[in-house]
Amino acid sequence: MVERKEKPRRIAAPDGAPRPSGDISQTPAFRVLVVEDFAPIRREICFTLASDARLQVIGEAADGLEAVQMAAELKPDLILLDIGLPKLDGFQVAHRILTSAPQTRIIFVSQQSSPEIIEEALKLGRAFIPKRRIVTQLLAAVNAVISEQVFVAKM
């Protein structure tokens, strides 16, 4: 189930792409979709992202199918994606999203951090963070991904 306070408001940019509404003089926001099935962690991710004025959380999803649907509808720039999701796992979600929107940047989060999981995550995404490091490493990962770098959190 998605916890949304209100539907995101969007305006069209000159190129027709949806952009967040607000003060045009500000640095353009990176539109972020947060996909995490455990509500307390999802709230922590959103809280951490809110501390960076460049980031705008435009949606939250709690399972893989919902994530694919919301990504198609909202067209986020960046997705924070849990690997262990109900209905579709994070890797299946990433495959589906990247097929239709290859420019989407994905940061994977997971409770598991085996070398095999990290390797698979970096084939599809640009960063990997173990859930236990979200508070301390999330913004560093976002900054790296925004700068077109690959990021693996300190284990």
Query: pLDDT tens, 25-63?
Result: 455 689 999 999 999 999 999 999 999 999 999 999 999
CATH number of 28-152: 3.40.50.2300
Q: Return the pLDDT at 136.
A: 95
Mean pLDDT of the chain: 86
Percent of the chain with pLDDT over 90: 80
Residue 26: the pLDDT is: 54
What are the structural domain ranges in the chain?
Answer: 28-152
Question: What pLDDT does residue 25 have?
Answer: 43
pLDDT at 24 over 50: no
Per the model's pLDDT, the better-predicted residue between 121 and 154 turns out to be: 121
Average pLDDT over residues 79-100: 97
Relative to beta strand 10-12, strand 18-20 is antiparallel
Q: Looking at the predicted structure, is the pLDDT value of residue 13 above 50?
A: no
Q: Is 102 helix (H, G, I), strand (E, B) or coil?
A: coil
More confidently predicted of 22 and 79: 79
Q: List C-alpha distances in Å: 137 to 14, 100, 105, 107, 144.
A: 35, 29, 17, 11, 11
Question: What is the spatial distance between Cα 43 and Cα 45, in angstroms, rounded to a whole number?
Answer: 5
Which pLDDT score is estimated for 29?
87
Integer Cα distance of 24 and 76 in angstroms: 19
Q: Write down the pTM of the prediction.
A: 0.82
Q: Express the helix, strand and coil content of the chain in percent, nearest 5 each.
A: 40, 25, 40
Query: For position 155, what pLDDT does the model report?
Result: 81
Q: Residue 29: how many CA atoms within 13 Å on its side-chain side?
A: 22
Tokens of 148: 């077109």
The reported pLDDT for the residue numbered 7 is 38
Structure-model confidence comparison of residues 55 and 3, the more confident one: 55
Going by C-alpha positions, the residue among 114, 56, 112 that lies closest to residue 85 is 112
